[in-house]
Structure 1
Amino acid sequence: MILMTSPAGLSADAFWATTLRRWNAVCWVLFAAMAVGITALSQGGGRYAALALLGAVALGFAVLHHFPANPLVRPHGYLAVLVLALGGLAYLGTSYAALFMVTLPHYWMFGRTPRISLAFLGLATTSTLLGGWVRQGWSGKFFGETMVGTLIVVAVGVLIGLWTRAVVEQSTERARLIDELERTQAELSEAHQRQGAADERERMAREIHDTLAQGFASIVVLAEAARAGLATDPGRSARRLRSIESTARENLAEARELVASGGQGQQPEPGSLAQTLRRVLDRFAEDTGLTVDAELADLDCDQQTRVALLRCTQESLANVRKHAGAGVVGVVLARRPYAVELEVTDDGTGFVPGTSTGFGLDGMRRRLAELGGRLTVTSSVGDGTRVLASIPLEGVA
């Protein structure tokens, strides 16, 4: 049996099983042909003995083929029967060479290791030569036909068997490697999907924090201030109520934009970043009553840079509003030799940066890191806070 490469669409195991089934069918046909030949050509008691030996081989092969999973059926037992049958046929001088050639692949099919296969093949050779010697003695016919013919058949069988087993092992190894590669690709794809889902959740959380959550926080602060000033300063409370209404409308629009755009959030209008920040700062000063000193350079940035700097400004101002207790806030937008910088300072109570556990600063850092930028926070208790956002000039005209 010669096994080259499996056809397209068949695995190595499937091709190997298909080839074995075909060879088994051929074996049955050849066994039947040998039985007919023995019956037709042999004479006397040797005919029935040869048929009995051939029948024993066929029976052993049939049992082994139909009950491969039965622990009582041993492939080596069948090979032993085959060895004895070859010796008997050689002694009878009836079709032993044909049986040897037909069953030669069985030593490689049913031997569990190459060493076992070669051992049984050697036993079969010895049994055949022994049967021929007992029948013919040390005659010229024994040396010229039996021995030479048997050794040639065995040599060819050994070479074909070793080569076939090597090809099968290579095919099996390739199939194993392909299975491992497919498994690894599936695991990698699943990991990418999990990572993508985690990144999307993080991005959504950051967008919600920087937009809706900040708006709601502003509404809460304005509502508390408006309620406290209803009796003493109705006019200012009315302005704060208008700010609450405006912020609520903006939050509603932002929520609708988040749903409609798949979580991207509302984007700043095209134009100067300085104009966008100026509107944010004016609104912040109106809502809080704090003094805002702003130096905003007129820079044209790409959309991602505009969004990042706008969100950093909003988050910094929200932190000032909620935690700083400041009176003056300074905002500087400037172009440096290698980057655009946004600096937000306040004269509030300050804090220890390493103790901050909120989502805001971490969200700003990640947003800037996606653009190759960085966030530097400098603060100490009682000395105010300085937040510096820096983005490389690639996104700045």
Structure 2
Amino acid sequence: MTGPFWERTLQRWNAVCWALYGLLAAAIVALDPPGEAKIWSLVLIGAVAGSYAMVVRFPRVLRPHAYLGVLVVALSGLAYLRPGYAALFMVTLPHFWIFAGSWRAAVVFSGAGAVGTLATSVLRAGWSAEFFTSNVVSTLIVYAASVLIGTWVHQVVEESHERARLLAELERAQAELSRAHQRQGAADERERMAREIHDTLAQGFASIIVLAEAARSGLDRADGRSAQQLRSIESTARENLAEARDLVGSARQYGGAAAGSVAATLRRTLDRFTEDTGLAVTAELAEINCDQQTRIALLRCTQESLANVRKHARASTVGVVLAQQPYGVELEITDDGVGFETARSRGFGLDGMRKRLAELGGELAVTSSLGDGTRVWAMIPLESEPLT
């Protein structure tokens, strides 16, 4: 039995127990006539005190069960030497439950103490009805009561230990879960940064490369196309620089998208795409009231789709439709390019678009086949109605 409560209980009981033993020893010294009984009584009390001190101070030298054995012998001897000493068994009963270590051992040792006390009392005084009534019955009642109380206390202590164990396991599980959340949070943040870099800086650099190659190949022409491409390179580089500063400074209040109408934002992006590529773009862009996260997601999906058209589609026309539906806002981007097999597509851009939309409760569908162009459909649910 451990814990602050039992430690305090043990200290109080020990104080009472050893006070009684001290008074008993003093009474024996002062009142008992000289003789073997007096000597043996003091020896037995000293043996109990010494073995108790040993088991408390030096538990590796004297084990608790050895102390209980000494206690059983001492109680039996004292009950044999003097009438009334059998009552010491009642005083020392808690020690059997404190030092036994288990319910079974406590029952066995306390039972041995009761039997030894009664047996030596019979040897000293003989058997009689009065002895049976005054000693045997009272000792058995005390022993039975100690077993019942000790069993209950032992069960309470075991339950408290089990609760403590479960609480410790719960704390370990919570700590591990917290560490897992931290690791997942770090992984999610790395993925978010990678997606932002891909959707902004990487796409911008890709545009710069394409424009630079086109400008270099057209240096010999005098149609002014190279100058326009160089201006686009400068503009794209400046935008990339602003994006990089936003990413490094973690101050992406607008995620690289200027505040304002989502239709106007997409229109600027499409105009820039037409200027850079010369492709024909048809656009039907409805005025939609949405929050900034939705605006950014729609812009990134448009930018990624147009970047794929520029790099892979070999298309001549591109169509963009932004519309409000009862269930949310829809964005559709189509091209008449060479298409691709969607089952084999493992690009980071498409996965990034899906995850970005999923964070807002939306979804993405890409349909394409070789020679038939590509259709990208994105949907984001809206909580509020558009302003009229």
Change (3 A) 1:257 1:81: same
Query: What code does the residue aligned with 1:62 have?
Result: A
Q: Counterpart in 2 of 1:303?
A: 292
Deviations 1:255-294 (A, max 9, x none): 1222334456634333321111111000000011111111
Provide the rounded CA distance (Å) in 2 between the counterparts of 1:16 and 1:346. 81
The structural deviation recorded for 1:19 is 4.3
Q: Does 1:41 align with 2:27?
A: no
Query: What code does the residue aligned with 1:119 have?
Result: V
CA contact (8 A) 2:86 2:121 kept: no
CA contact (8 A) 2:89 2:114 kept: no
Task: Tell me the secondary structure at the aligned position of residue 88 of structure 1.
Answer: helix
Q: Does 1:130 align with 2:119?
A: yes
Aligned-residue sequence identity (percent) comes to 65
The structural deviation recorded for 1:248 is 0.7
Q: Does 1:240 align with 2:218?
A: no
Q: Does 1:165 align with 2:154?
A: yes
Count of residue correspondences = 385
Task: Tell me the secondary structure at the aligned position of residue 393 of structure 1.
Answer: coil
Change (3 A) 1:94 1:133: closer
Deviations 1:74-106 (A, max 9, x none): 322222221121111111115623431332111
Query: What code does the residue aligned with 1:13 have?
Result: G
340-349 vs 72-81, which deviates more?
72-81
Change (3 A) 1:47 1:65: same
RMSD: 2.1
Provide the rounded CA distance (Å) in 1 between the counterparts of 2:296 and 2:348. 18
The structural deviation recorded for 1:333 is 1.1
Deviations 1:43-88 (A, max 9, x none): 23211111111111122222211222x2x53322222221121111
CA contact (8 A) 2:290 2:382 kept: no
Q: Does 1:103 align with 2:99?
A: no
Task: Tell me the secondary structure at the aligned position of residue 342 of structure 1.
Answer: strand
- Normalised TM-score (structure 2): 0.93
Gaps spanning 5+ residues in structure 1: where? 4-11
CA contact (8 A) 1:86 1:124 kept: yes
Change (3 A) 1:87 1:266: closer
Task: Identify the structure with bigger relative contact order (alpha carbons < 8 Å, sequence gap 6+).
Answer: 1
- Normalised TM-score (structure 1): 0.91
Provide the rounded CA distance (Å) in 2 between the counterparts of 1:91 and 1:20. 28
CA contact (8 A) 2:360 2:380 kept: yes
Gaps spanning 5+ residues in structure 2: where? none
Provide the rounded CA distance (Å) in 1 between the counterparts of 2:99 and 2:212. 88
Query: What code does the residue aligned with 2:50 have?
Result: L
Q: Counterpart in 1 of 2:361?
A: 372
Task: Tell me the secondary structure at the aligned position of residue 158 of structure 1.
Answer: helix
261-270 vs 354-363, which deviates more?
261-270
263-272 vs 178-187, which deviates more?
263-272
Change (3 A) 1:272 1:265: closer
CA contact (8 A) 1:89 1:95 kept: no
